[in-house]
Chains A and B, each alone.
Chain A
Amino acid sequence: DTEVTQTPKHLVMGMTNKKSLKCEQHMGHRAMYWYKQKAKKPPELMFVYSYEKLSINESVPSRFSPECPNSSLLNLHLHALQPEDSALYLCASSLRANYGYTFGSGTRLTVV
């Protein structure tokens, strides 16, 4: 298995909702990442997990809450989002931090 799987592929949520994005890999990678991408822009790093520990938080608002329950799974919990949070959310993994990223296909999030 050489893939990073993200679910759901599309999500529409209201500003008062709570939802979660899920990311899974079975490549034995020990670093996992969340990126946010707005239209026609490159991806922007949100969080880095290395060996299941949060190592980088790029000053992301607390309405985004990451969780890494085990080495194969990464979640992003969403609460009280704003319309400007609508974007493509990408998960990635790598064997170790700073080495050869593999990206998932993303979750298209729309906040209404």
Chain B
Amino acid sequence: KQEVTQIPAALSVPEGENLVLNCSFTDSAIYNLQWFRQDPGKGLTSLLLIQSSQREQTSGRLNASLDKSSGRSTLYIAASQPGDSATYLCAVYPNAGGTSYGKLTFGQGTILTVHP
């Protein structure tokens, strides 16, 4: 059974710092990996989707890398801002076939607070 772990569970930093959020998964036979952001009481906003053949994706101040062989993904946030405060979730997609096809496995999330 796939298990996804996110470290740290919570992070509080001053504005302007560069951040690294970590995601590890136990079964390296994954298809895609997706990072989401969730504001309190709201839905999930997709940040980056790393497809099966990719190792990295970038969007603005965000960069996510994926190393399937070691079961790790990293989300890098440059020059953090108070508006980045949210819970960040990583989710892995199973490989094609099998009864779990289409079922995301989420980590527990990292709660990020960026203070001015």
A98-B93 CB under 8 A given contacts A43-B44, A88-B41 = yes
Q: Which of B31, B41, B43, B101 gathers most chain A CB within 10 Å?
A: B43
Closest B residue to A49 by CB, please name it: B102
Residues of A within 8 A of B42 (CB): 105-106
How many Å from the CB of A101 to the closest CB on chain B? Answer: 7
Q: Is the CB of A97 within 8 A of B106?
A: no
Binary A-proximity of B26-51 (CB < 8 A = 1, otherwise 0): 00000110101000011111100100
Query: How long is the Cα–Cα vector from A33 to B44 in the complex, in angstroms?
Result: 13
Q: Is the CB of B43 within 8 A of A106?
A: yes
How many Å from the CB of B75 to the closest CB on chain A? Answer: 16
Q: Is the CB of A100 within 8 A of B103?
A: no
Query: How long is the Cα–Cα vector from A100 to B49 in the complex, in angstroms?
Result: 6
Q: Is the CB of A102 within 8 A of B46?
A: yes
Residues of B within 8 A of A105 (CB): 42-43
Residues of B within 8 A of A94 (CB): 102
Interface size on B, residues (CB 8 A): 25
A101-B43 CB under 8 A given contacts A42-B109, A50-B102 = no
Q: Is the CB of B106 within 8 A of A56?
A: no
How many Å from the CB of A87 to the closest CB on chain B? Answer: 12
Q: Which of A41, A43, A90, A92 gathers most chain B CB within 10 Å?
A: A43
How many Å from the CB of A74 to the closest CB on chain B? Answer: 14
How many Å from the CB of B9 to the closest CB on chain A? Answer: 10
Binary A-proximity of B73-89 (CB < 8 A = 1, otherwise 0): 00000000000000001
Q: List 15 A-B contacts (CB under 8 A).
A: A41-B108, A42-B106, A42-B109, A43-B106, A45-B103, A48-B102, A56-B102, A58-B103, A90-B43, A97-B102, A98-B31, A98-B32, A100-B32, A102-B46, A103-B43
